[in-house]
């Protein structure tokens, strides 16, 4: 390893700049995705996805903008499918990414952040998570202008059953 004179002070200056620029007091009074992600009160989600899925990245942005702190684990498609199956998400319920709360609740696909917050605030008895199978147009991360396809957010039950947790009928309900 080659030492470069002044590198330590340059790195320290860069770190200080990032802490100031991205800290909780930066940006508008409403905060930013970076500030929300650093908030110690933010709910933690581990997100499992492939490197090539752009809509997953957009969903992560949506989650972070709405009070979640995310940590992404990239997997190839076979590993991701097995991760989902191991967590109780059958093939018919799968989407492109899976998020898991620190309490172990599973959130499959393009679920609006407000719906995840509501679930975590009042977990239904016997539930282990929520799913939005497929990739509904207009759902968080799948925005296409003003196009929107109504969809159901399904409740995942420990006994293997599912039911409608909520129906999203309009963009404004997300």
Cβ atoms of residues 98 and 113 within 8 Å: no
- Is 7 within the bounds of a domain? no
- Is 22 within the bounds of a domain? no
- Is 13 within the bounds of a domain? no
The number of C-alpha atoms within 13 Å of 144 and in the hemisphere containing its C-beta is: 9
* Model confidence at 48: pLDDT above 80: yes
Q: What is the arithmetic mean of pLDDT over 155-174?
A: 96
| Tally of domains within the chain | 1
Residue identified by tokens 């407000």 is 114
- Is 113 within the bounds of a domain? yes
Lowest model confidence (mean pLDDT) among 20-34, 48-62, 104-118: 20-34
- Is 35 within the bounds of a domain? yes
Strands (E), 11-148: 43-49, 68-74, 98-101, 106-109, 127-132
Question: Where is pLDDT greater, at 166 or 7?
Answer: 166
Please state, as a whole number, how many other Cβ atoms lie within 10 Å of the Cβ of residue 108: 27
- Is 162 within the bounds of a domain? yes
Distances (CA, A) of 61 to 36, 66, 169: 11, 9, 22
- Is 24 within the bounds of a domain? no
Q: What is the arithmetic mean of pLDDT over 21-40?
A: 36
Q: Which two tokens stand for residue 54?
A: 């752009």
pLDDT in tens, 101-126: 999 999 999 999 999 999 999 999 99
Task: Check residue 99 and report its DSSP letter.
Answer: E
What global pTM score does this model have? 0.77
pLDDT in tens, 59-83: 999 999 999 999 999 999 999 999 9
Give the pLDDT band of residue 29 (cuts 50, 70, 90). Answer: very low
- Is 164 within the bounds of a domain? yes
* Model confidence at 30: pLDDT above 70: no
* Model confidence at 17: pLDDT above 80: no
Instruction: Output phi, psi for 48, to 5 deg.
Output: -110, 125
Q: Range of 106's domain?
A: 30-173
């Amino acid at each position: 390893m080659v030492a470069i004179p002044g590198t330590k002070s340059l790195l320290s200056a860069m770190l200080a700049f990032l802490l100031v620029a991205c800290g909780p007091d930066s940006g508008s009074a409403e905060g930013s995705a970076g500030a929300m992600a650093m908030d110690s009160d933010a709910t933690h989600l581990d997100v499992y996805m492939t490197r090539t899925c752009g809509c997953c990245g957009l969903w992560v942005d949506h989650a972070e903008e709405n009070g979640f702190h995310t940590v992404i684990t990239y997997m190839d498609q076979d590993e991701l499918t097995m991760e989902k199956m191991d967590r109780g998400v059958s093939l018919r319920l799968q989407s492109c990414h899976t998020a898991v709360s620190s309490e172990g609740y599973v959130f499959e696909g393009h679920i609006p952040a407000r719906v995840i917050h509501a679930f975590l605030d009042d977990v239904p008895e016997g539930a282990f998570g929520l799913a939005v199978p497929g990739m509904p147009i207009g759902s968080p991360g799948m925005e296409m202008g003003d196009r929107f396809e109504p969809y159901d957010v399904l409740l995942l039950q420990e006994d293997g059953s599912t039911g409608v947790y909520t129906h999203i009928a309009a963009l404004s309900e997300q």
